[in-house]
Amino acid sequence: MKKSKIALTGLAVLVLILVVANILLLIGNQSLQVSVSERQQYIAETIQLETLNRQVIAVLAEMALKTNDGQLKELLAGIGIDLSPTPAQAPGSGSKAPGSE
């Protein structure tokens, strides 16, 4: 009789420890999910801004070539945009395809 009480008490303590461990893991998992969700949102926003950034750079490069603006060319060169004499045309810029004269 005494051994069964000790065994049941031991099992109850073990169950209690497992419940507390489960609660702690649940709290940790929720904080990680919030962190991952914030990172996903940041990545999604960055992708949208990247598209806008490419469009702004394409417009600036086109303006720099049309107006021959030295300061604008220097600005673009400073961020790594090469405006060589035969620049690659941006898609949808309205230029003719090579060989279609």
* pLDDT per residue as tens digits for the range 34-46: 999 999 999 999 9
Q: Is the pLDDT of residue 63 over 60?
A: yes
pTM score over 0.75: no
User: Tokens 């303590």 sit at which residue?
Assistant: 13
Domain boundaries along the sequence of the chain: 9-78
- What band does 101 get if pLDDT is binned at 50, 70 and 90? very low
Closest CA to 91 of 39, 40, 51: 51
Return mean pLDDT, the chain: 85
Which stretch of 20-29, 32-41, 66-75 has the lowest confidence by average pLDDT?
66-75
Q: Is the pLDDT of residue 92 over 60?
A: no
